[in-house]
Structure formats: C-alpha cells, structure tokens
Amino acid sequence: MRLAAAIFLLVSSAGAAQAQTVPVLPRNEAVASLGWFGADYHHEGEYGTGWHPSLLAGVGAGRYWTDHLKTDVEAAWLSRVHTYAYERATIDGATAEIASEYTFRTTKVSVAQVYQFGRNAWVHPFIGAGTDVDWLRTTEDRTAPGRPVYFANGQT
C-alpha cells in the first residue's frame, strides 16, 4: 500500500511540474534617464569657449521582436550652456577685445538595433548598430551684457 501511495505521489507531482510554462517576458519597455553630459563648444577663430557640463534628461522605448532582437528609440535634451568668448577686432584703427555671450542648446535622437546573445541573465554579451542625430542651437549676444570692450591702449 505504501508503495502504491508513493508511486501515485511521484506520478501526480511530475505531471504538475510538466504543466508549468516558461514565463513570457514583456515585449515593450520604457526608460527615463537623468545624468551629466559634457561637451566641447568651440568656435573657429575665437577663444574662451571649451568643455562645459550640462544636465541630460532623456526618455526612450524599446521593442523586443524576439528574445534576442531588440529595437531602441531614445530622445534626450541637454540643459542650456552659457559661456563667454573674446574676439580680437580692429575698430577705427584700434585693436579691441570684444566679448560675446553664447548659449548652446542640444537635442539628441537615437535609434539602435541590438542583438543579445543570452536570455534573461545578469550578464550577457550583445552587439548593436544605430544612429544618433544631434541638433545644436547656438545664440550669440555681442558685446555680452556687463562685459566691456577693451582696447589695446587701455580704453574701454
């Protein structure tokens, strides 16, 4: 009798274990990002501009077409960067240093196709390709407010 009960328990529990299905992973995902971004803002023939950090905020979405193939789309915005630059110019025969205030605003859009070699693991390699499009908008205020024009002979 005990042998029959043990066989019954083993057979019924094996059937229940076989009935379990592999969990279905979500096909879509969304992401929000926040961080620091640094860029070198440079204008030819001028000096004073250079490396400036800004705040980056982004949103993105991804779609898993299979367990390994994924498409990502992301957009990001950078906070405004204000910087000053000085340019040497000749005004009425005198050499002057003219100050300019620049404001830079950047928007980024990225699209990528990624293939991951593992499935639902903590660490797995992947390979991807994509494109990143950046829009940089620059405004210039010349002479910058509160910044005088300096002539080589000491006049302002």
Phi-psi region of 48 (alpha: psi -120 to 50; beta: other; left: phi over 0): left
Taking the domains of the chain in order of start, what are their residue ranges? 27-151
pLDDT band of residue 35 (cuts 50, 70, 90) is: very high
Query: CA quadruple 41, 47, 48, 51: dihedral positive or negative?
Result: positive
DSSP code at position 25: P
What is the distance between the alpha carbons of residues 128 and 91, in angstroms, rounded to a whole number?
Answer: 54
Contact call for residues 47 and 86 (beta carbons, < 8 A): yes
Total-model pTM: 0.61
Could you report the per-residue pLDDT of 96-128, keeping only the tens digit for each?
A: 777 777 788 889 999 999 998 877 677 878 899
